[in-house]
Structure 1
């Protein structure tokens, strides 16, 4: 454990919550064997010695274990929240008090505070940025061009953030390497599908105590996150409806056994709505106007723009808090719409985010992506880079080892067959 420095700058809710946070961080670590092995290697090798690192992430128990790993590797790291409602205040307190890691994150912080923390992060003059949603990177490019010379690169693990990085590259402003952690197989196949699938429904149930069995659950978007929500919703007995704009994904959803229709049609029959698209205004004024009385809407995409809450406000005569993280909008037509988690990430606003076992692989990718940037800083070109296949395979092998699972390996005969064109059937 690292002793707290005599003076450390931070902005958290309450340092006295550290004891509870420490217990929860250690509990999460039990389910994160891959990151634990990486942390131990980092502690020996110090790959980040002399590196200033900023992490803009959801401040959870799992993120805490990533921050501890980076610190063990020698990083001069600070942590800020990537979403105003995703911070676990006890975790933030523990990182400050017990590990001496500066944290700038408060659950429920307003937008002004959030943007101030982004500026604080950039004041650290980072060499590496771990970003969720690319807010820190975008702010750096727009407002602090003079600091770009210090930047080795960035890592991004959200679909939303990758979309923004691709737009930056297209516009010619991505002048540094960016590691696409989101598309690593050991990330999106598991984190997006199993993590988002379970934690989204966990958030809905914690906030509302609603029985999903027999309900019409509308899932907007059938990417890996949407697939996870739909799969878990069906497992709980919901009648799942998928809305899509991509014909291939729509066919896939249909062949997976889900009903597929436009949102305008789904809006009239849905009981619970979940948006997971990475786009804006998926549920709009015309959809609210035709919803059932008491329909519930929530979002599990990164930013709070998928549900057009401003339009909902204009349709409403009253807004009241009916449960924690649950607001009832009374519409002018006499019906009501329930919004969970203020339209922000419901799994973090109303629950604890992804299970630790899933984030073990995601954060292993983050840690190794940062190491890859440092090791290859002289040769990596500006642009978006995939996680090397060998890193993906290493993480998967370590995860299997941690789960006590063994697999087969190819025989010499099989290797020869797969590498030869002269051997037929």
Structure 2
């Protein structure tokens, strides 16, 4: 198929929203796209992208195409596609998209297959489904691949497991590990968009609630910070002792999920792991507890266990499913356990995605120039790219910073001078 979207008549609305997001993405729009138009660093390169189909992603796709690439896009989550954006990319920007919000699992993987059928030379992942499908089902395509990029913590975890086992057959740049990505996108983007998703789905008051955050990585830090800022009493659960201490010193209560389950009004998982909230936790939750996930996959909450426990299930609001337990307690699952910030809201604000997608674009350019000399492994974003993105962002914000004097440079590079 040439493309597969819900409805092309939504394209004008999508175009307006893409342009609105573009206004808040000056690094990608001006600093990178304008250079790409002139230099065409991706000329002749086919890029297969499995990303959340949002307004911000649309502007990344436009930049890659302006750089000379042939771009094909599918969704990285069945509920994260913005159908009007998908339609606009097809109709106004001539970028083939295979994504429909709410698609079933069979359609989801059919769309991944469509992208892989274009024989991409560079892959772009948001969770590593494109790369894993390529490695498991299409080994014949591997010699054609220069390298890939990965946007998420979950995807990087999967890729490092592939590399450790020897399964990874080409180099991948972990865009998620860039300082200009996880320090800002994961923390401020996930923090704001997760709260946004919960509020849109439930219209519940955050202030005065007990808000349980499972995981205190950069995403968990952001969610906890924003929940606290809205007046919630925040509890953090962790398995890492260092992160647990950090959460406590940041002012949050820290305890095992078995204890937090008795207290929480709202639960949000952001760990990247499986079954963080399980049957034994559901059994302890109060009537009316709200459970959601802002980690990448819908496995952090043990939904099969909740299905088995429930005597009745009904959808009470868009993105809110009520599970009634034998004793009459009700537990509310948001967005089918998928990313609540993208399923029930619009994902991260454009301003923070500006840096993340600047890293994606420059990493793709780096792979075209250097990928054939890299061994199959997971690589961090080169420091010069990370710093360049930060510099461009500051410049776009009209912010100037100091420079080291020659004396300071000499001091930092010497060892003779003491107290």
Shift of the alpha carbon at 1:415? Answer: 1.1
Alpha-carbon distance in structure 2 between the residues aligned to 1:290 and 1:386: 41
Alpha-carbon distance in structure 2 between the residues aligned to 1:402 and 1:171: 42
2:211 aligned partner: 217
2:21 aligned partner: 28
1:377-417 per-residue CA deviation (whole Å, 9 max, x = no partner) reads: 33122111111111111100111111111111111111111
99, 102, 108: which one aligns with 2:93:
99
Alpha-carbon distance in structure 1 between the residues aligned to 2:169 and 2:329: 51
Cα RMSD, aligned residues only:
0.8
Shift of the alpha carbon at 1:80? Answer: 0.2
1:9 aligned partner: 2
Quick check: 1:408 aligned with 2:402?
yes
Matches within 5 A, 1:257-336: 257-336=251-330
1:242 aligned partner: 236
232, 248, 255: which one aligns with 1:254:
248
1:211-266 per-residue CA deviation (whole Å, 9 max, x = no partner) reads: 11110000000000000000111000100000000111111111111000000100
131, 137, 140: which one aligns with 2:131:
137
1:62-85 per-residue CA deviation (whole Å, 9 max, x = no partner) reads: 000000000000111110000000
Alpha-carbon distance in structure 2 between the residues aligned to 1:423 and 1:243: 46
2:220 aligned partner: 226
Q: Which moved more, 1:343-352 or 1:378-387?
A: 378-387
Number of residues of Structure 1 aligned to a counterpart in Structure 2: 418
Alpha-carbon distance in structure 2 between the residues aligned to 1:280 and 1:332: 25
Divergent runs of 4+, >3 A: none
SS of 2:372's equivalent? Answer: coil
1:350 aligned partner: 344
Shift of the alpha carbon at 1:320? Answer: 1.1
Alpha-carbon distance in structure 2 between the residues aligned to 1:146 and 1:354: 36
Alpha-carbon distance in structure 2 between the residues aligned to 1:45 and 1:304: 41
Instruction: Note the residue ranges of structure 1 that are not aligned, 5 or more in a row.
Output: 1-7
170, 178, 181: which one aligns with 1:176:
170
109, 113, 127: which one aligns with 1:115:
109
Alpha-carbon distance in structure 2 between the residues aligned to 1:146 and 1:313: 40
SS of 1:267's equivalent? Answer: helix
Shift of the alpha carbon at 1:317? Answer: 1.2
Alpha-carbon distance in structure 2 between the residues aligned to 1:415 and 1:379: 33
Alpha-carbon distance in structure 2 between the residues aligned to 1:314 and 1:140: 34
Preserved contact between residue 195 and residue 341 of structure 2 (Cα < 8 Å): yes
Structure 1-normalised TM-score?
0.97
Structure 2-normalised TM-score?
0.99
310, 334, 337: which one aligns with 1:340:
334
Matches within 5 A, 1:357-396: 357-396=351-390
SS of 2:378's equivalent? Answer: strand
Alpha-carbon distance in structure 2 between the residues aligned to 1:45 and 1:401: 21
Preserved contact between residue 8 and residue 88 of structure 2 (Cα < 8 Å): yes
SS of 2:398's equivalent? Answer: coil
Alpha-carbon distance in structure 2 between the residues aligned to 1:280 and 1:107: 24
Alpha-carbon distance in structure 2 between the residues aligned to 1:258 and 1:98: 48
Alpha-carbon distance in structure 2 between the residues aligned to 1:28 and 1:76: 23
Preserved contact between residue 146 and residue 372 of structure 2 (Cα < 8 Å): no
1:165-209 per-residue CA deviation (whole Å, 9 max, x = no partner) reads: 111111111121100100100000000000000000000001101
Instruction: Note the residue ranges of structure 2 that are not aligned, 5 or more in a row.
Output: none
1:266-292 per-residue CA deviation (whole Å, 9 max, x = no partner) reads: 000000000000001011111111101
Quick check: 1:50 aligned with 2:44?
yes
2:120 aligned partner: 126
